[in-house]
Chain A
Amino acid sequence: MTMIEIAGLTKLFNAGSLDEVLALDDVCLEIREHDFLTVIGTNGSGKSTLLNVIAGNIIPDKGIIRIKGKEVTRHPDFKRAKYIARVFQNPFQGTAPDMTIAENLLMAWLRGKHRWPLLSLNRKIKSFFRDQLASLDMDLEKRLENVMGTLSGGQRQAVTLLMAVLQTPDVLLLDEHTAALDPKTAAQVIRLTRKFVEEHHLTAIMVTHSMNQALELGNRTIMMHHGRIIDDISSEEKKKLTIDDFLNKFEDIRKQEKLTPELIGRLKALYC
């Protein structure tokens, strides 16, 4: 079954001005249920914009987005939250810093649901939250009543991930969610990501800067450049590929678009 269907998606920022950017250029993409898609691409190639358009934070100029067959192109973000859960690159964006972990989890538990003036945050739901936190393996189950702001970036990102799957979403969007973390914590969050996606059989899209992650995770990888999808690699292909093959692909782009060797160097530094 098709989960997300995207056709002819175009987004032009600052139209008509000097810094006009074509962030998405006629993008077409079909994602099936239980696909785990990784997205790589140069800086500014439109990866985040693609995710934002799917989530409804940005309304595209042209094109159509369907989720589970329902057209949502112009629906605002909060109306799509019943299908979509997100983890942002910035660990501060995904949680409310002055609220406790329990309160943040409750907000996620109610994702896409109506909020009544009821006292749902009772002992029963707290013990459920505690069990869920224990699965993060970060000793957070004792800190249910601590405010979010007292957690480290990695811990906050892990909690955000847990919040995203607390109510199993139809689609999980991850935008470089480990980029701001140190390598050890990043590895831990990636391990959790893999675990959650497998446990809940999620459909997920993950933008990453790490070639390793792109190769190891998911069953499909797309490569973006200048607002276009320039490559779409299936899981069979992925098994045969190495990081060098990826880099050679960038080399090909260089040949087509005359990238300077300096830029290639920057790309290599970024992805190795």
Chain B
Amino acid sequence: MELWIGAVNLGFLYAFMAIGTYITYKLYSFPDITIDGTFTTGAATASILIVNGWNPLTVLPVAFLVGSLAGFITGFIHTRFRIEGLLAGILVMTGLYSVNLHIMGKSNIPLLNDPTFVSLLAFYNPGLNPEFWNFLVLITTIVLFWMVVSLFLRTDFGLTMRSTGNNPVMIAAQGVSVVRNKIFGISLANGLVGISGALIAQYQGFADIGMGIGSIIFSLASVIIGEAILHSRSIFIQVLGVILGSVIFRLAVALALYLGMNPNDLKILTALFVLATLITTQFFRKKHEGRFTRMFHHHARIFRWSFLILFVLLFVFFVVKNRPKKENDAHRPRIGLLLANQSSLMTNTRNGFYDELRKLDYRPGENCEIIELNAEGDIPMNRTMVDHLVSAGVDVLVPVSTASTQAAITKVKEIPVVFATVANPFSIQAGFSDSNHLPNVTGVYGSAPSYELLKLFTMMKHGKQKIGTLYNPAFPNTKVNLADLHKALKSYPQLELSEVSVSGTSEVYQAAQSLAAKGISAFILINDLTVFNALESVIRVSRAQKIPVYSNDAERLQDGVLLVYGYEYYVSGMQAAHLVDRVLKGENPGKIPFERFKITSFGINYDMADQLGVIFPDSIRKAATITFIHNKLNKQPLVLPEDREIQTKTH
């Protein structure tokens, strides 16, 4: 039931965006792609403000303003420079990606322990089921919103907006500036999209840089569904149709997840659906035949120029951003560090690497130099950055993550490469075995120990159990970890596994709910970047439905996971630092075997156990190396085994 009410609630929250698209697409015949960026901008603005102590409701008008500003820019370049609407949207959307990253400061902001409108509502909950209480409040809000929007579109101003889209020649003859009017409409629409983003971020518990991708298509689908089910000339009915369309679309997503359909397939279905509808409406609208083609020809020059200018700007931007610092001292070793994104997976590896390098007497800026780059989640960008590091003349390249390592080993043959935090180097052809591998490559690897995690679970819960897991199949690491889980399951025939795949962080919440709806007794999380970034959503479901989370991710214990068993990526960074040291001292990387993670961590969360009503058996209490109790994380400092040996020898 939660899954379906949750879907309806999501539909309400996305309805603000759908109304925005209704304004641009239905009133102005302008499919505004900007919203893919604006949605994230709204989420980013809201999240960063909330983290800085703002009230979750006062951030909404700010998200609206920031969104409208983005819309204003699209409208402005579209009308004033006569750049085709789609292209204007693409330009602004692309630019917004960087803006959003700057607003957030990293690619993901968790809001789990911050006040959101959800926690605000929970405070006033008279004792109903939380999701149902949310539903009651949201439906009241949405009915008000419906009335306000419909009435607005019937005022003199609203009628003028509608007439402008319907016949610009006529409205100009009545003394209305079509340009200003369009800009206003597009700004208004993007403001609503910003609100939608702000609400969704609060509802799912985080903002993520990639959460807006595909918004325009989903939103168009909602508008089209709405039009199909409630076809009417009355503006009240039309607006109602759009809201219902948004809800129906989210219910369809929930159904697809529930039925175990791959959401990646859902996307192509949505795209085909929208395409088919567009073609048919175009077909009936004979007088606009070939309008796009004609427009393209008419503005061909502007198209070419804007593309050119865009590329030049991008080029300049990256050249300036990644410009290597000029260094004349040839004897200082230069290390190139490449991270795939801003997740804590990467930053922990990085921290372990820096800390251990310092212990080995490398002082960046003094007796060595480290050039650090981050691909910000853009996979193709890794290759560009590897090229950049090579041309900067690094002595050793340290890619962190599978994606970065893959880019490094395919492009670099001369310079030593020391990878870290890779699940399976053999799957990306770095070698055949630990000792038989590429001549210039070595590194630290290890996949999550699924077997041990399942074993710990069976110690906690006996007998036949249903368990659930979710993951994004697009990541190669995930596939390795999943295969490992399947293998481990063979030893535990009493466990029945339900799987749900997701294609982005914003789907995790619904996916977790769909698992909960199947009656699982635990979430067993393998290492997966998407789920890692959206862990808050899983935790939210875990708390609401009292289903514990078991994870192979040792670093998220304090975020609401009941039990973790896995590697800390900090260790991976430490080990990589030792390998880099050996390579810089002249060892041949081809002769250094690949290393597995040397330390596993086992953590239990007493606070979460209290909330879920779980008791840890004594055997588990004793074995744990990390505990989280009374909001405090207790762990021993991490020391590599060799270091311990050296220390015992010297003392």
Contact = CB atoms under 8 A, between A and B. Distances in A.
Given A93-B167, A98-B166, A115 B178 contact: no
Nearest to B161: A115
A99 B159 contact: yes
Contacts of A95: 167, 170
A142 interface: no
B170 A94 contact: yes
Residue from B155, B163, B170, B233 with most neighbouring chain A CB atoms (10 Å): B170
Contacts of B173: 55, 77, 81, 85-86, 94, 111
Given A81-B173, A96-B171, A107-B170, A119 B151 contact: yes
B156 interface: yes
Contacts of A103: 159, 162-163
A78 B157 CA distance: 16
Contacts of A128: none
Interface string A84-126: 0110100001111111000110111011110111111100000
Interface string A50-84: 00000100000000000000000000111101100
Interface residues of B toward A: which range?
20 to 34
B120 interface: no
A147 interface: yes
Contacts of A117: 152, 155-158
B176 interface: yes
Query: Size class of A's contact patch?
Result: 20 to 34
B174 interface: yes
A99 B164 CA distance: 11
B156 A81 contact: no
B172 A78 contact: yes
B175 interface: yes
Contacts of B170: 93-96, 104, 107
B479 interface: no
B262 interface: no
A202 to B, nearest CB: 16
A107 B169 contact: no
A120 B156 contact: yes
Contact of A118 (B155, B163, B166): B155
Contacts of A118: 155-157
Contacts of B177: 76, 78
Contacts of A77: 172-173
A110 to B, nearest CB: 6
Contact of B171 (A82, A107, A116): A107
B540 interface: no
Interface string B145-156: 000000110111
Contacts of B157: 115-118
Nearest to B167: A96
B119 interface: no
Contacts of A111: 173-175
B160 interface: yes
Contacts of B159: 99, 103, 106-107, 115, 121
A126 B7 CA distance: 43
Nearest to B175: A81
A202 B172 CA distance: 21
A97 B175 contact: no
Contacts of A82: 175
Contacts of A81: 172-176
A106 B156 CA distance: 8
A150 B333 CA distance: 79
A123 to B, nearest CB: 14
Nearest to B152: A117
A177 B579 CA distance: 85
A97 B166 contact: yes
A119 B235 CA distance: 14
The residue in A79, A94, A107, A112 that gathers the most chain B C-beta atoms within 10 A of its C-beta is: A107
Given A118-B155, A119-B151, A147-B233, A99 B162 contact: yes
B154 A121 contact: yes
B151 A107 contact: no
Contacts of B171: 96, 107
9 contacts: A77-B173, A81-B174, A96-B162, A106-B156, A107-B159, A107-B160, A110-B160, A111-B174, A118-B155
**List of 10 A-B pairs having minimum Cβ-Cβ separation, nearest first:** A81-B175, A96-B166, A112-B175, A96-B167, A117-B155, A117-B157, A115-B156, A96-B163, A111-B174, A115-B160
Given A106-B159, A107-B163, 8 more contacts: A96-B167, A99-B159, A103-B159, A104-B163, A106-B156, A108-B174, A110-B174, A117-B155
Interface of B: 151-152, 154-160, 162-163, 166-167, 169-178, 233
